[in-house]
Amino acid sequence: MQQFEITSEFIANVKNFVDEGDNASISKLLGELHHADIAEILDELNFEQSIYIIRLLDSDITSEIIAELDEDVREKVLRSLSSKEIAEEIDELETDDAADIIAELPEAQKEEVIAQLEDVEKAKDIVDLLRYNEDTAGGLMRKELIAVRDSWTVLHCVKEMRKQAEAFEKVHTIYVVNDDGILKGRLSLKSLLTTSTKTPISEIFNPKITSVKVEEDDEEVAKIMQKYDLIVVPVIDEMGRLMGQITIDDVVDVIREEADKDYQLAAGITQDVEASDSIFELTKARLPWLFLGLIGGVGAFLIMEGFKDFFKNYAVLFFFTPLIAAMAGNVGVQSSAIIVQGLANNDVKGSINNRLIKEMLLATLNGIILALFLFAFVWGYEGDPSKAFAISVSLVAVIIVAGLVGTFIPLFLNKRGIDPAIATGPFITTSNDIFGILIYFWIAKMILGI
Amino acid sequence: MQQFEITSEFIANVKNFVDEGDNASISKLLGELHHADIAEILDELNFEQSIYIIRLLDSDITSEIIAELDEDVREKVLRSLSSKEIAEEIDELETDDAADIIAELPEAQKEEVIAQLEDVEKAKDIVDLLRYNEDTAGGLMRKELIAVRDSWTVLHCVKEMRKQAEAFEKVHTIYVVNDDGILKGRLSLKSLLTTSTKTPISEIFNPKITSVKVEEDDEEVAKIMQKYDLIVVPVIDEMGRLMGQITIDDVVDVIREEADKDYQLAAGITQDVEASDSIFELTKARLPWLFLGLIGGVGAFLIMEGFKDFFKNYAVLFFFTPLIAAMAGNVGVQSSAIIVQGLANNDVKGSINNRLIKEMLLATLNGIILALFLFAFVWGYEGDPSKAFAISVSLVAVIIVAGLVGTFIPLFLNKRGIDPAIATGPFITTSNDIFGILIYFWIAKMILGI
């Protein structure tokens, strides 16, 4: 099977069949598709059409579809299903997806749904999982895994594994625990297939295994899995007991969300919003940063007001304030972004001082190159080398200060345990606008001897 | 084993032992560590110390360490090793890492190293892999995989798999091919363990398998693996023959690099640079965008020059140009970032027109809220409601235009097949600065009837 391309023609067909109630054709069209594809198709339909299809298809596939839907669509879908129907869907899911969905339900309904789950063992696991904060290893893990005891023989082990054959298609690691459930290591398929059946597991298992604690932060789990190239990692509790496992596909979502969040912060968007969110939600995410920009602009106004006596003879100075502000902002964003990204990727080494010295050299180099062009332009346009000199020298100073501020603030926030990503974007451009314009007028004043 | 924490004390110990030539202590310290940890330690040492350790440790571990090093450190390390030594390291690596490293060598050395590889089969595979562009599925895949023929029986299959037992620790999927090597499906461990040994594979394999073409773009591979939650995906050629497989850990790097690139573009940094790169490289990545900002600033200057007659009576208008420029820039970056991210996550649906209407409503709402505050401030400070009104109305207009430009440009670039990420950051702030200031003066002029 190649991946499937959803065309608008295909969507139109599905819609038609739903409107006509042609169940046979719907089943034929969707029957062979991957649940991720069906979820994408449902995102394109209206709500009644989606519900119609969910009620029509088997719960082994609809459960996967529901787990895959956008959170806001899922909320609506779940609201239109009874607790019994939801429990049937959840019975088909793995524990991590099941717990995520139950966590989204209203408090009152949670208990109702859990009470109606058929598989009592799974219900216990789900209730366990609900205890963990969603941003921790416990919140990411699922309970399904294959564990064998170090006291067993290979033969016993294979028999146990055959019993649990249902779970097999997704086995990535066979964990070895002792009789108290404490994680001891892992068993490779190789040893299992190539050792005599009487060998005790304790003699052939591999004790080298990287695990994470159940309370570990999800971003830390992501870093560990990336660093050690792990497909799956076991989760243990404070006693070292094996509690569950996390597979890399769940961590990929964490990595993407983290990158998305940093990107949004850099663009001046707080809160996790998407292009499809409501205008009200988007305003809530965007307005605070714009307000910050407004305050910065008022600050710039007050500074320029303070220098208004220059106006008569040096109006040209005022015409360059947007340029100064833009350069201060751009340099600040560049230097802070490099630091923020370096911190995220563990790539920022050495002392803050070294980093600041490097940024100063860099800003000086860039500033002088840019100032030469500006000098030539102003001299040529205004015919006044002293004004051109004052403006250009100020530009270099502004760029250096902007670079230092952009480097220092994220490093400082990081030392203080604050997410440095908030320091990129509007925060840095606004403060650099004000600093930049102030420095610009001071230096120009000194040079021109006003 | 819990993950290992690299302390500065530990690094100091390693350095001491290297300087003293105390090989026994080095081996003891590093012997039990994961190669990813050793690679991190080497990044902290100087070059001679790193080479000393690489020469000291076994090539089965040093090969993994070399594959893990930062590209610039690896380049230096490889330059100090002979072709024979490099070949020994490469003999220990999987084909994808091996091909990546060989691709980095100077042309002349490539052939030398390949000629000295002991494993001729692997050498062939590596030469094959070198043909593919590194940004495609072929460039990501490795040749190591387990494939069985649909004409075999279960017994034959298990025997073949035992033979290849070496590769077992990393088996994720058992692929089924026909006698021409064409991918037919996959075999679950479950069917292998629970079916009679005489059953032909053709009766028990699962024909549902998602594959990618060898020429597929790496970012597309990442999207497919994320969408279908795949741990591993087979790669096929134009005839459908199984060529290799890609595991998710390689794709995680693609996802991270892609997110990093978008983030850097939004911050005005072209080219992939890191905080630790040289000042010259950083200048190359940053200066072009600053130059764009300079040109934008000169544009703003020319516009203000054109309105300089207002100076005498309306100086206050000029004092607000940094505010106007900042707001235009911030709104532009916010709206473009949401679109860029939405496009990356396949979350932007519906027509461009709908999107523009939504952004216009959003910008109008935000603009009016901000303008009310500005109006109150200017009126209170300047005591002139007509100026306050002119400035505030202009602000609303500027914000609306900035939002529309920020929404339209990335959508337009995307339609044209250009990466929309270049439209965030300096590109949008610069054009919005100019547009914003122009609109601001026009509207103020109209309202004040100058």
Is A257 within a domain? no
In angstroms, the CA B338 to CA A221 distance is 27
DSSP structure class, residue B4: P
Which residue among A305, A322, A377 places its CB closest to the CB of B437? A322
Mark yes or no for CB contact A231/B248 under 8 Å. yes
Long-range contacts of B19-28, Cβ-Cβ distance < 8 Å, separation of 24 or more: B19/B49, B23/B56, B26/B53, B26/B56, B27/B56, B27/B57
The confidence band for A450, taking pLDDT boundaries of 50, 70 and 90, is confident
Q: Return the number of CB contacts < 8 Å for A and B.
A: 354
Retrieve residue A373's tokens: 């062009």
Mark yes or no for CB contact A338/B208 under 8 Å. no
Assess whether A224 and A327 both reside in one domain: no
The torsion defined by the Cα of A424, A429, A430 and A436, in degrees rounded to 10, comes to 140
Kindly report, residue by residue over A378-411, the tens digit of the pLDDT.
999 988 899 999 999 999 999 999 999 999 999 9
- Residue B5, chain A, CB below 8 Å: the answer is no
pLDDT of A2 higher than 60: no
What is the average pLDDT score of chain A?
88
pLDDT value of position A1:
45
Task: Give the end of a domain, one of B136, B158, B177.
Answer: B136
Which residue among B190, B330, B369 places its CB closest to the CB of A426? B330
Phi first, then psi: give them for residue B322, nearest 5 degrees. Answer: -60, -35
In angstroms, the CA B341 to CA B343 distance is 5
Mean per-residue pLDDT, B135-140: 93
Assess whether B428 and B375 both reside in one domain: yes
Assess whether B124 and B153 both reside in one domain: no
Is A287 within a domain? yes
DSSP structure class, residue A240: -
Sort out which chain B residues have CB atoms less than 8 A from A228's CB and list them: 3, 34, 36
pLDDT value of position B272:
74
C-alpha count within 13 angstroms, C-beta hemisphere, residue B120: 0
pLDDT value of position A166:
60
3-class secondary structure, B54: helix
pLDDT value of position B5:
73
Question: Is the distance from CB of A364 to CB of A400 less than 8 angstroms?
Answer: yes
Which residue among A274, A339, A355 places its CB closest to the CB of B347? A274
Q: How many residues does chain A have?
A: 450
Assess whether B109 and B152 both reside in one domain: no
In angstroms, the CA A64 to CA A94 distance is 9
Is B397 within a domain? yes
- Residue A11, chain B, CB below 8 Å: the answer is no
- Residue A203, chain B, CB below 8 Å: the answer is no
Mutate to test the interface with A, among B190, B272, B283, B427 (most CBs of A within 10 A): B190
3-class SS letters over B201-236 = HHHHCECCCCEEECCCEHHHHHHHHHHCCCCEEEEE
- A39 to chain B: nearest residue by CA? B227
The confidence band for B349, taking pLDDT boundaries of 50, 70 and 90, is low
- Partner B, chain A 49-78, Cβ-Cβ below 8 Å: none
Sort out which chain B residues have CB atoms less than 8 A from A269's CB and list them: 334, 337-338
Mark yes or no for CB contact B1/A211 under 8 Å. yes
CATH number of the domain within which B98 lies: 1.25.60.10
Assess whether A311 and A443 both reside in one domain: yes
CATH number of the domain within which A173 lies: 3.10.580.10
Is B342 within a domain? yes
Mark yes or no for CB contact B282/A227 under 8 Å. no
Q: Give the closest residue to A316 by CA, choosing from B324, B301, B436.
A: B301
What is the average pLDDT score of chain B?
88
Mutate to test the interface with A, among B235, B283, B333 (most CBs of A within 10 A): B333
- B285 to chain A: nearest residue by CA? A334
Cβ atoms within 10 Å, residue B16: 12
Sort out which chain B residues have CB atoms less than 8 A from A345's CB and list them: 256, 260, 274
The set of residues, in sequence order, having a beta carbon less than 8 Å from that of A212 and lying 6+ positions away, is A137, A220, A221, A224, A233, A234, A235, A236, A246, B3
3-class secondary structure, A152: coil
Mean per-residue pLDDT, B46-61: 87
pLDDT value of position B166:
60
Query: Among the listed ranges A101-105, A330-334, A356-360, B256-260, which one has the minimum average pLDDT value?
Result: B256-260
Mark yes or no for CB contact B322/A437 under 8 Å. yes
Is A239 within a domain? yes
Phi first, then psi: give them for residue A241, nearest 5 degrees. Answer: -75, 140
Mean per-residue pLDDT, A181-208: 87
**Cα-based angle A424, A421, B291 (whole degrees, multiple of 5):** 30
pLDDT of A58 higher than 90: no
Q: How far is A108 from chain B (nearest CA, A)?
A: 32
Is A271 within a domain? no
Query: Among the listed ranges A358-367, B225-234, B388-397, B419-428, which one has the minimum average pLDDT value?
Result: B419-428
- Residue A44, chain B, CB below 8 Å: the answer is yes
For every residue of B113-144, DSSP letters joined together read HHHT-S-HHHHHHHHHHHTS-TTBHHHH-BS-
Query: Among the listed ranges A165-174, A298-307, B121-130, B306-315, which one has the minimum average pLDDT value?
Result: A165-174
CATH number of the domain within which B363 lies: 1.10.357.20
Which residue among A165, A209, A211 places its CB closest to the CB of B193? A165
Mark yes or no for CB contact B169/A162 under 8 Å. no
Assess whether B373 and B430 both reside in one domain: yes
Task: Give the end of a domain, one of A108, A135, A162.
Answer: A135
Mark yes or no for CB contact A319/B305 under 8 Å. yes
Which residue among B279, B300, B323 places its CB closest to the CB of A361? B279
Is B254 within a domain? no
Mean per-residue pLDDT, A345-356: 75
pLDDT value of position B350:
66
DSSP structure class, residue A231: S
% of chain A residues with pLDDT over 70: 96
pLDDT of B411 higher than 50: yes
The confidence band for B1, taking pLDDT boundaries of 50, 70 and 90, is very low
pLDDT value of position A165:
60
Mean per-residue pLDDT, B47-75: 86
In angstroms, the CA A45 to CA A35 distance is 15
Sort out which chain B residues have CB atoms less than 8 A from A259's CB and list them: 255-256, 259-260, 263
Q: How far is A85 from chain B (nearest CA, A)?
A: 25
- Residue B108, chain A, CB below 8 Å: the answer is no
Assess whether A295 and A233 both reside in one domain: no
Neighbour order of strands in the sheet with B212-213: B212-213, B232-236, B242-247
The torsion defined by the Cα of B301, B307, B313 and B315, in degrees rounded to 10, comes to -20
Mean per-residue pLDDT, A164-181: 77
Mark yes or no for CB contact A267/B333 under 8 Å. yes
Highest mean pLDDT among A2-16, A269-283, B406-420: B406-420
Q: How far is A256 from chain B (nearest CA, A)?
A: 8
Kindly report, residue by residue over A215-263, the tens digit of the pLDDT.
999 989 998 998 888 889 999 999 999 999 998 888 888 888 888 888 8
Sort out which chain B residues have CB atoms less than 8 A from A399's CB and list them: 290
Count of domains for chain A: 3
Assess whether A323 and A439 both reside in one domain: yes
Question: Is the distance from CB of A41 to CB of A49 less than 8 angstroms?
Answer: no
Query: Among the listed ranges A27-31, A417-421, B351-355, B425-429, which one has the minimum average pLDDT value?
Result: B351-355
Assess whether B218 and B309 both reside in one domain: no
- Partner B, chain A 291-330, Cβ-Cβ below 8 Å: 291, 293-294, 296-298, 300-301, 304-305, 308, 311, 315, 318-327, 329-330
Mutate to test the interface with B, among A284, A333, A395, A414 (most CBs of B within 10 A): A333
Sort out which chain B residues have CB atoms less than 8 A from A333's CB and list them: 267-268, 425
Task: Give the end of a domain, one of A198, A228, A248.
Answer: A248
Assess whether B352 and B385 both reside in one domain: yes
Q: How far is B304 from chain A (nearest CA, A)?
A: 6
pLDDT value of position B86:
92
- Residue A365, chain B, CB below 8 Å: the answer is yes
Retrieve residue B351's tokens: 């027509």
- Residue B239, chain A, CB below 8 Å: the answer is no
What is this model's ipTM? 0.76
Assess whether A105 and A156 both reside in one domain: no
pLDDT value of position B399:
95
Q: Which domain holds residue A222?
A: 146-248
Is B178 within a domain? yes
Query: Among the listed ranges A90-94, A353-357, B14-18, B199-203, which one has the minimum average pLDDT value?
Result: A353-357
Assess whether B187 and B232 both reside in one domain: yes
pLDDT value of position B141:
94
